[in-house]
Copies of this chain bind each other. A is one copy, B any other.
Amino acid sequence: MATLTSTEWALARRPVGLPQQSDFEKKTVEIGEPGPGEIQVQNSWMSVDPYMRGRMYDRESYVPPFQIGETMTGGAVGRVTASNNPDFQVGDLVQSMNGWRTAWVGDPASAMAVKLPGDTGLPDSAFLGVAGMPGLTAYAGILRVAELKEGDTVFVSGAAGAVGSTVVQIAKIKNCTVIGSAGGPDKCAFVKSLGADHVIDYKQAKGAEGLVAALKEAAPKGIDVYFDNVGGDHLTAAIEAARPMARFAECGMIAQYNETGTPVGPPNIIQVVGKQLKIQGFIVSTHADMQPAFLADMAKWIAAGQMKFQETVMEGIDKAPDAFIGLFSGANTGKMLVKLG
């Protein structure tokens, strides 16, 4: 056993609008040896995710806000370096919520640490993406919340992102027609490579009207399902293009996360009545019961070559704020990750 030095990130202050480097504060923390029942872990990967922006506001939400000066949390994968817990051995691969840092010591339960299987053939980082929280988010959202049926016409926004790119592929596996939207030619090419039938470059489409025109061209009969990662104009366009009885899985609204003024709601919300739309928000933890089915399906799909995944990797803990900030300018294709060691 030995002590470790952890480099960590805390909020220096609450961001206003788009987060800035100066909103974050780097700390160095000595990580002691594990006490009774505890484990010591060296992280190898950490995740940055759009939902973390919500935790930077001081407000009531489904996860408590980050506190100023305290190391932030989030998904991380690492290896056990010392253990005083019979369920964990040195060298075990563990996933935890103790991200935003290079090492930690503590009670596994408080860290929501779980041992990962060693025999999947997947790279460790996949457990923060396609085989982890973003993957389950896609799976639960499209299959349960949006009630996907074979033959549906499905619109996915943020289709080049970690969640969106998984949704596109699940919908294709289920024999649906898929329209993905993403920003710029490279991401659009990536979405197309995943099997999407139509790809809309929202930067070209310019606003809700442009998106509606592009959707009507791609799906003249309208859409049955909308998987929303973006909100704003995308949501308005999806309501406009929706067929009667369409189902919307509201996963996120990244277009609004840094809004400082009054956001604009969909002006065509009245169509929810006449078209009998179902617009339903969800959080992945509510659907934790789907985890076993998700892992079984995902292993099968990855093995069969039906589920591809891409990562955008920034190297080193110093880059963690950059990686996070980059989510809002679309710097990532697929899962945005920080490689720690």
Which A residues fall within an 8 A CB radius of B? 54, 61-62, 231, 235-236, 244, 250-253, 256, 262-283, 286
Contacts and interface: CB of A to CB of B under 8 A. Distances in A.
A272 B265 CA distance: 12
B281 A274 contact: yes
A273 B244 contact: no
A271 B280 CA distance: 11
B282 A276 contact: yes
Contacts of A267: 262-265
Contact of A280 (B54, B231, B235, B276): B276
Interface of chain A, main secondary structure: loop
Interface pairs A-B: 8 shortest CB-CB? A265-B265, A272-B281, A265-B266, A273-B281, A278-B280, A279-B279, A265-B269, A276-B281
A273 B253 contact: yes
A278 B276 contact: no
Among A62, A256, A265, A277: residue with most chain B CB under 10 A? A265
A270 B282 contact: no
B278 A54 contact: no
A63 to B, nearest CB: 9
B231 A274 contact: no
A283 B274 contact: yes
24 contacts: A62-B244, A62-B275, A250-B272, A250-B273, A252-B273, A256-B270, A264-B265, A264-B267, A265-B268, A266-B269, A269-B269, A272-B280, A273-B281, A273-B283, A276-B280, A276-B281, A276-B283, A276-B286, A277-B280, A277-B281, A278-B278, A278-B279, A279-B279, A279-B280
Nearest to A63: B274
Nearest to A279: B279
Contacts of A279: 272, 278-280
A269 B235 contact: yes
Contacts of A264: 264-265, 267
Given A235-B269, A269-B235, A61 B263 contact: no
Contacts of A271: 281
A277 B145 CA distance: 11
Contacts of A61: 274
Nearest to A61: B274
A278 B265 CA distance: 16
Given A244-B62, A279-B279, A280-B279, A54 B265 contact: no
Contact of A263 (B252, B256, B270, B282): B270
A285 to B, nearest CB: 10
A280 to B, nearest CB: 4
Contacts of A244: 62
Contacts of A253: 269-270, 273
